[in-house]
Amino acid sequence: MMLRLAPLALVAVALTVSLPLRADDPPSVLSILTQQLAKTEDANLQLNLLRGMNAALKGRRGVTPPPEWKAVSAKLSQSPSPEVKELVQSLGTIFGSSDAFAALRTTAADEKAEVAARKKALEALVNGKDADTPALLRKLIETPGPLRADAIRGLATFGDKETVPYLMKFYNGFTPEERQAALGTAGARREWAQALGAVIDQGTIPRKDVSVPLVRQLRGYKDEALDRVLDKHFGKIAGGSPDKQAEIAKIKEWLTTDFVKAGNPSKGREVFSRTCALCHKLFDGGAEIGPELTGSNRTDIDYLLQNIVDPNALIGEDYQLNTVELKDGRVLLGMVKAHDANTLTLRTMTEQVTVPAADVKTKTVSPMSMMPEGLLPAMPKEDVQNLFRYLASHAQFPLP
């Protein structure tokens, strides 16, 4: 009995998810889907099948292509649909096609191509660990452009021991986003973190650029020399007082309603952008890692203090901090967004990363919140005043 076209498109993801991970396993399910791609000229069905196959195989490498794939990919590479071509290239990287990698490198390097297409091409190259991609990443980093931050993050996948010195050569010319990407990449491997510690100790990086979550990640390596540098420049900010209520009471002695009202919300937004916005979204700015703050009880000083001073009092499962060590030496710190037998998707401070489950060496869940303790004591009172004034605002304010 033949499968009808519409149901086949709908079950593409379900069928492909069931594929075994090993590269030498029989690709029977993929063959079924690829044979259907060979038969149909329906553009919508082609897109549905390709989207389903890509979604199900995301994060996987070295999958044995079905025998029909070479002919099908050659046919669909001539499709008038840009998305069909893009999806075929993406599957080609999963199947280890050198032609697919070459085409993606051409797209990513093409300054006349659409930025979105270039970003997707670069993501596929990095996920596929294409051996020729590091040279492209360096080219994109050395010239300002829309893919610079993505290229900086992409370096974390490749283990070049000179990565930190290389990034520091261009650091002063990076935008704030690119600087955070550079620091995130530098902290992704133990030996890089040690080199980053030396750079911090030399004063090459402004102290304000080093976020509290990054300090926490660096401390996770438990390296004595690195910890001494962090203690010297940042103190023991990961600790905090064991008596949180006493700490809150002490802050409330000076953080009064009238004191907050006298703050500058524009300057408060600047404080928010370099501290809270790394994880939280407020109005139209910030990252969607922690809970969005736009609709929260932001005018209540007590509520804010309880959540900022004692973030570990109640941690939702979705916001538990995970440390994932990969077999290639990288360490990822963030929250698990999806996890199945084939892949693990983690939301870090700078990006969402999907890795093959087979690449994971260890995964540990911290009893602590992603949000670090000790934020307010480390700030000047004027910064706290301006931050709380901005948090209490009902509309967005311009940056100073």
pLDDT, tens digit (0-9, with 9 covering 90-100), for 14-43: 444 444 434 444 457 788 889 989 999 988
Report the range of poorest mean pLDDT among 29-43, 317-331, 375-389. 317-331
Asked if 276 contacts 307 with a C-beta cutoff of 8 angstroms, the reply is no
Q: CA–CA separation, 181 vs 211, rounded Å?
A: 12
Report the range of poorest mean pLDDT among 63-67, 328-332, 335-339, 369-373. 369-373
The yes-or-no verdict on residue 236 having pLDDT over 70 is no
Per-residue pLDDT at 17: 44
What residues does 330 pair with on adjacent strands? Answer: 189
The yes-or-no verdict on residue 146 having pLDDT over 60 is yes
pTM to 2 decimals? Answer: 0.69
Q: CA–CA separation, 67 vs 39, rounded Å?
A: 15
Residue whose pair of structure tokens reads 């490198």 in the numeric block: 105
Q: In what order do the strands lie in the sheet with 343-347?
A: 352-356, 343-347, 331-339, 320-326, 360-369
The secondary structure of 219-267 as a DSSP string is HTT--HHHHHHHHHHH-STTT--S-HHHHHHHHHTT--HHHHHTS-HHH
pLDDT digits (tens, 9 = 90+) for 147-190: 999 999 999 999 899 999 999 999 999 998 899 899 999 999 99
Q: Give CA separation, 64 vs 22, 23, 57, 59, 126, in Å.
A: 8, 5, 12, 14, 19
- The fold of 244-311+373-391 is Cytochrome Bc1 Complex; Chain D, domain 2 (1.10.760)
Per-residue pLDDT at 395: 84
Per-residue pLDDT at 148: 97
Per-residue pLDDT at 248: 86
For residue 330, give the DSSP letter: B
171 alpha carbon, distance to own chain's centre:
20
The yes-or-no verdict on residue 76 having pLDDT over 70 is yes
Average pLDDT of span 329-335: 86
The yes-or-no verdict on residue 133 having pLDDT over 80 is yes
Residue whose pair of structure tokens reads 């006349």 in the numeric block: 112
Q: CA–CA separation, 49 vs 337, rounded Å?
A: 24
Q: CA–CA separation, 31 vs 29, rounded Å?
A: 5
Per-residue pLDDT at 111: 94
Q: For the chain, what are the domain ranges?
A: 133-234, 244-311+373-391, 317-369
Per-residue pLDDT at 316: 58
193 Rama class: left (phi>0) / alpha (psi -120 to 50) / beta: alpha
Q: CA–CA separation, 349 vs 344, rounded Å?
A: 16
Average pLDDT of span 319-345: 85
Per-residue pLDDT at 21: 39
Residue whose pair of structure tokens reads 């829309």 in the numeric block: 146
The yes-or-no verdict on residue 398 having pLDDT over 50 is yes
pLDDT digits (tens, 9 = 90+) for 52-74: 888 888 778 888 888 999 999 99
What residues does 285 pair with on adjacent strands? Answer: 282
The yes-or-no verdict on residue 339 having pLDDT over 70 is yes
Per-residue pLDDT at 62: 81
pLDDT digits (tens, 9 = 90+) for 88-114: 988 998 898 888 899 999 999 999 999
- Report percent pLDDT > 90 for the chain: 39
* Angle in degrees, CA 16, 17, 23, rounded to 5: 75
In terms of average pLDDT, the best of 18-32, 196-210, 288-302, 331-345 is 196-210
Per-residue pLDDT at 266: 93
Average pLDDT of span 300-328: 77
Per-residue pLDDT at 370: 67
Average pLDDT of span 116-136: 92
Per-residue pLDDT at 54: 85
CATH class of 317-369: mainly beta
- Same fold yes or no, 244-311+373-391 and 317-369: no
The closest of 119, 121, 47, 122 to 83, measured between CA atoms, is 47
Asked if 122 contacts 129 with a C-beta cutoff of 8 angstroms, the reply is no
Query: Residue 296's pLDDT band (boundaries 50, 70, 90)?
Result: low
The b/e string for 29-53 (b: 16+ C-beta within 10 A; e otherwise) is bbebbbebbeeeeeeebbbbbbbbb
Q: Output the average pLDDT for the chain.
A: 83
